[in-house]
Structure 1
């Protein structure tokens, strides 16, 4: 039985070393990037968001070292930039935390936090969240997972931020490389109580719930075959590798220009050009 208070993927967190430079890079890739946000003091982090429907990407950077962001700092030291964690949408974080506790996982949180938001009319509001995490050690394929309850969706999904020159519309897949995809997929499957699905090339997918994006666990060799001709330098042997994004491919090709690499039916941005994250745009 799937979790009742945790639905599919909400957003993908890309850890970056220099937050402002990363935002400029993603703007050059044709994304509309939100104004910079600064999280509550105990978190010690800041972010830029790239909003889709119904999900989004988050560029996250450490501004001040705190106990809360120690795992993120360890990730940057160990792996460099890239996908560090994935958020699910929480209907109710308190009840969701109790659901995973009943399945044998001691939750971290729930934790309330917020960040100021500059609205299109210039006024200042706040984006407010309540999150909980699965235990830090429970990271399938080396990717941490948590759940995010949005208390103020209207200050996050702002219409002016949801149209992108590169035609991006929504997340389709989160790609996680692993020497043992089946084992890591089974780990996630147990954590979220959704069965895995075998892919024709030997990769293993785990639906995240509802109509949201799937997780796909695959070896580096399988990833290379899926995206032939795309340089994969900088990706880990085990960890978050990339995002498959549904898009208007004509807009993608025009926006990316020479940065884009055509591979099968995809237009890709190599990890080295996207802060450690393979971006594969596919037809919406």
Structure 2
């Protein structure tokens, strides 16, 4: 793995209507955080669903900004799993490492958002991110890295318990007709390794963290028990989440959610 990366940090689900998306995911048994508004130069807002070391983020545009141009382009076509973030220990060092390999990484970019706390108080969550080049998006999944400066303001204990029993992300699922090539592409970007698992080609992201799995849309649709047409032919298509309370797969915000019984 790239020296500054620890593994998958969170998955970004792009949505057009944050309120509707929050209600949709809450109805599936997730504890959804209050809306967070990012710094003005970022131009977006979010809701999160926090687990142990990782989380899901519902992300929407509130003001057009250069920083969210790619997000707006994605939403003009569809909603759904738009990108994956890795935890980085040093965003500036990550940018330098990628540029040394000839990859035109962008960043580091600093931003923040206020966090309402359960006791009625508030905190500020602060981040520094860098993005891999936009054209280096394996099977259309954009990737970036996030350095958390204020973990206690993001991983709030009361937000980490979910009625549906989900505790972490097991896999991010990406649809593509060339799963071997896409997995090799991601492995090259993060200096990781890819392995074949039936129809899926998986890239490990770090110890105890989710993998990213590439497969034809038909294979992901079969796992999600949904029509192929409900998922993109190429791009982020779904996720596998472990739960102590088994439940059938679901579709939310253009994303297939496979609930797998926790071991």
Q: How does the TM-score come out when normalised to structure 2?
A: 0.97
Deviation per residue, 1:40-68 (Å, 9 max, x gap): 00111000000011100000000011111
Corresponding residue of 2:102 = 104
The 8 Å contact of residues 232 and 278 in structure 1, kept in 2 or not, is answered as no
* Structure-to-structure mapping, 1:122-161, within 5 angstroms: 122-161=120-159
Residue aligned with 1:171, SS: coil
The 8 Å contact of residues 244 and 282 in structure 1, kept in 2 or not, is answered as yes
Residue aligned with 2:32, SS: coil
Corresponding residue of 1:43 = 42
Q: Distance in 2 between matches of 1:42 and 1:224?
A: 37
Q: Does 1:21 align with 2:20?
A: yes
Once superposed, what is the RMSD of the aligned Cα atoms? 1.1
Q: Does 1:242 align with 2:247?
A: no
Residue aligned with 1:138, SS: coil
Q: Does 1:220 align with 2:198?
A: no
The 8 Å contact of residues 25 and 32 in structure 2, kept in 1 or not, is answered as yes
Residues 235 and 224 (structure 1 numbering): CA distance in 2 closer, same or farther, change over 3 Å?
closer
Gaps of 5+ in 2: none
- Note the C-alpha offset of 1:143: 0.6
Gaps of 5+ in 1: 254-266
Q: Does 1:209 align with 2:190?
A: no
Match of 1:277 among 244, 255, 258: 255
**What is the aligned length?**
262
Q: How does the TM-score come out when normalised to structure 1?
A: 0.90
Corresponding residue of 2:188 = 190
Q: Distance in 1 between matches of 2:64 and 2:233?
A: 27
